Chain A
Amino acid sequence: MIEFEHVTKVYDDGTEAINDVSFEVDQGTTTVLVGPSGCGKTTTMKLVNRLEDPTEGTVYYDGEDVTTLDPIELRRNIGYVIQEIGLFDHMTVAENIGTVPELLGWEQDRIDDRVTELMSLMDLPPDQYRNQYPRELSGGQRQRVGVARALASDPEVLLMDEPFGALDPITRENLQDEFLDIQDKIDKTILFVTHDIDEALKMGDMIALFDVGKLVQYATPREILETPKNQFVKDFIGENRALKKLQVTPVEEVMLTDVPDEDRDELAAIARGERDGIEPVKRLDSTQVALSQLIENDIAALPVVDDGGDVIAVVTEKAIRGRQRTYEAGGA
């Protein structure tokens, strides 16, 4: 969907933002550009919707060199979300979200329907918020409006520059979780910029790790954790690499499908929600969540349930530890 081919960007004042960057983003995936500030990740993103043009090399959008495309038309087909949100304070929430459809000349009825749909998707009750002004909203709500505005014309690609960076940690985490759900529904190709490795591991299908103008490693979150390419990557991931691995490992990889008969009743009870405070996990939940449940509730085994709530497997602390040991052996 998006491809960078030996792209170098030097600004007019001589600063080199990125040097010989190549990578490819597949359709429907989320790629996170991560690195310390000033590493060129935002510049890389801006090359896609032509807010910047490359000095050398080529950026392809859907197979076409972006510099041959009309920037205005290109930008209307690419959603754009920035950290400062940049809502238009003189417009209502509905008008903000309807900006791009309005520019594209949609009929008012169609715009209204689309705005209602997006507000529901972003968990902003339309009746309540439609006619409010941005300054009347909280930071989290404002960023929801920002994301809804970016999705308004149903673009195939979404560019997000530290979208949750200015929010408090709790709002931030909620929005991340919600956005992961939304991403499942909307299935966009997303380029996501952050300086936070945890956010990158959580949000990304692929991670592009930058260090001062260079793309150091382009890999899945697990590959980054299991086989960091060099010391810079290791340092950037930080101390608790083992815990982070738990975060990116789904329960299905460590769960035991042979459920011992003597545990069945107890597990079923947990699955039915009869044990206060203990939540069963699903196969795609992270092992971090499972381990936290095990330790917090001081239990030996936690049921893994399917969407219908039936127990399909069990996860134990020992199983998680076993998995971790094989990682350590195979990894560093």
Chain B
Amino acid sequence: MEAAVSTIQWSIAPLFIQDYIEFLTSYQSDLVVRTIQHIQIIVQSIAVAVPLGVILGTLITYNDRAATVVLWLAGIMMTIPSIALFGLLIPYFGIGQPPVIVALILYSQLPVIRNTYVGITQVDKSAIEAGEGLGMTRIELLRRVQLPMALPVIMAGVRNAVVILIGIAAIGAFIGAGGLGFFIFDGISDRHVPKIVVATVFLSILALAFDYGFANIEDGFRRRNGEEIEPALLTRFVNWVRPS
């Protein structure tokens, strides 16, 4: 009998608005702290992942075989479940944030490496020929022509990676990394639906905000490269909601 009552409460609980209000008021500061923690994890991961991915993506443009192998390995990485990867990393990095950050760096490599590779190999051949003909060394060509021209595509990869990482980082709370995932695991064990729903909404908003920010940076690079572009979908949506 008691079990039946609790099951009913569990299933209809999301409808009780006062539960949400109660949760939001009593956990206000906690929510802010966890959100900041979440952002910190993402920023630290990206700070390492982007330079690493761009360097790897650039190097493999010089060797087709290496490109195949590296892109394949980075692709395999994406198929490993995050919980399993955390488990594999704990013996080396302990628990808490370090193994999570390492895992996030590994997960972000596929989009960053792939987009760097594609971006550089798609640079207009005539610009490269002109650069060579004008006497640029390989490094000068890379720094002055290939990388700047590939920047919008690389940026799209980073943007893609960040959105993936925000979701995966939530699972990091399972091994003590903190962040917004904390509320989700807490909510599951407490059978406290508002915790789960609110944390999920926060994660979504975070992901959309990062996506919007990076989309703008990407558009900026595209415009600088002289492309005539339609604003990204989200940018358009936001501009429509809030015309500037």
Contact = CB atoms under 8 A, between A and B. Distances in A.
A86 B129 contact: yes
Contacts of B225: 89-90
B140 interface: yes
B132 A51 contact: yes
Contacts of A89: 124, 127, 149, 225-226
B133 A88 contact: no
Contact of B126 (A77, A82, A90, A99): A82
Nearest to A74: B135
A23 interface: no
Interface in A70-128: 71-77, 80, 82, 84-90, 99-100, 103
Nearest to B132: A51
Contacts of A84: 125-126, 129
A97 to B, nearest CB: 11
B130 A103 contact: no
B187 interface: no
B145 interface: yes
B144 interface: yes
Interface residues of A, number: 29
B139 to A, nearest CB: 11
A134 interface: yes
A85 B130 contact: yes
Interface in B83-137: 124-137
B236 interface: no
A135 interface: yes
A317 to B, nearest CB: 47
A49 interface: yes
A149 B133 CA distance: 11
A90 B154 CA distance: 15
Interface size class of B (residues with CB under 8 A): 20 to 34
A90 B149 CA distance: 6
A119 B15 CA distance: 71
Most buried by B among A51, A75, A86, A90: A90
A148 B137 CA distance: 21
Contacts of A75: 132-135
Contacts of A76: 134-135
A307 B101 CA distance: 78
A86 B140 contact: no
B148 interface: yes
A103 B149 contact: no
Nearest to B221: A90
Contacts of A263: none
A82 B130 contact: yes
Interface string A263-288: 00000000000000000000000000
A136 interface: yes
Contact of A73 (B131, B135, B226): B135
A61 interface: no
Contact of A136 (B128, B136, B151, B226): B226
17 contacts: A49-B133, A51-B132, A72-B137, A75-B133, A75-B134, A76-B135, A80-B134, A82-B126, A86-B124, A86-B126, A86-B127, A86-B128, A86-B131, A89-B124, A134-B226, A135-B226, A150-B134
Given A75-B135, A134-B226, 15 more contacts: A49-B133, A51-B133, A74-B135, A76-B135, A80-B134, A84-B125, A85-B126, A86-B129, A89-B127, A89-B149, A90-B148, A99-B134, A103-B135, A103-B136, A135-B228
Interface of A: 49, 51, 71-77, 80, 82, 84-90, 99-100, 103, 133-136, 146, 149-150, 159
